[in-house]
């Protein structure tokens, strides 16, 4: 039972982070964001919520799998970096949508990408599947970087 309580905790943590980011995003997605020039390949707005939901679930399962491994400094560090990347993830939403600062958000996104890359490597040392579950997130962050940079350059 403790195993599944842990999974529930990670799901609540990641989906809660997504919900908080979504609440910040809502403040300007229908107004300020719509007025921005966007790069080619920008998906329609409705795509973002299901993609992020799937990514948050994958992240939660990955962190849970690492949490299930034997205790030790490697596990603590991997989960600490996981919390850091969640904070950076939320920070990006605050900076980009809340503060409407795409330039500063691009720096946040770079830090987020590096944190997720580090976490993926740390997860791989504990559980290969956990690391693999982080790969779609890394890919999406690369695409988000393209979108964020395009918005900076076009506006």
Q: What pLDDT does residue 1 have? A: 84
**81 pLDDT higher than 90:** yes
**What sign results for the dihedral spanned by CA atoms 132, 117, 43, 45?**
positive
Residues 120-132 have a mean pLDDT of 98
3-state SS, 42-96, equals CCCHHHHHHHHHHHHHHHHHHHHHHHCCCCCHHHHHHHHHHHHHHHHHHHHHHHH
| Dihedral class, residue 44 (left if φ above 0, else alpha if ψ from -120 to 50, else beta) | beta
Q: What pLDDT does residue 94 have? A: 97
User: pTM of the full predicted structure?
Assistant: 0.95
CA 53 to chain centre: 10
Task: Give 25's contacts (C-beta < 8 A, 6+ positions apart).
Answer: 93, 97
Within a 10 A sphere around the Cβ of 113, how many other Cβ atoms?
A: 18
Q: Which domains does the chain have, with CATH numbers?
A: 2-154 (1.20.1260.100)
């Amino acid at each position: 039972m403790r195993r599944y309580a842990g999974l529930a905790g990670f799901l609540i943590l990641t989906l809660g982070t997504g919900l908080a980011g979504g609440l910040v995003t809502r403040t300007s997605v229908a107004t300020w964001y719509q007025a921005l020039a966007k790069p080619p390949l920008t998906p329609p707005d409705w795509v973002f919520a299901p993609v992020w939901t799937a990514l948050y679930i994958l992240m939660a399962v990955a962190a849970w799998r690492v949490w299930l491994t034997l205790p030790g400094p490697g596990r603590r560090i991997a989960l600490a970096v996981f919390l850091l990347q969640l904070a950076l993830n939320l920070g990006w939403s605050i900076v980009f949508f809340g503060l409407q600062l795409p330039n500063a958000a691009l720096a946040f996104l770079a830090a987020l990408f590096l944190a997720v890359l580090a976490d993926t490597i740390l997860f791989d040392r504990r559980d290969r599947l956990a690391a693999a579950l982080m790969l779609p997130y890394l890919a999406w962050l690369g695409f988000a970087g393209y979108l964020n940079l395009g918005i900076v350059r076009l506006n």
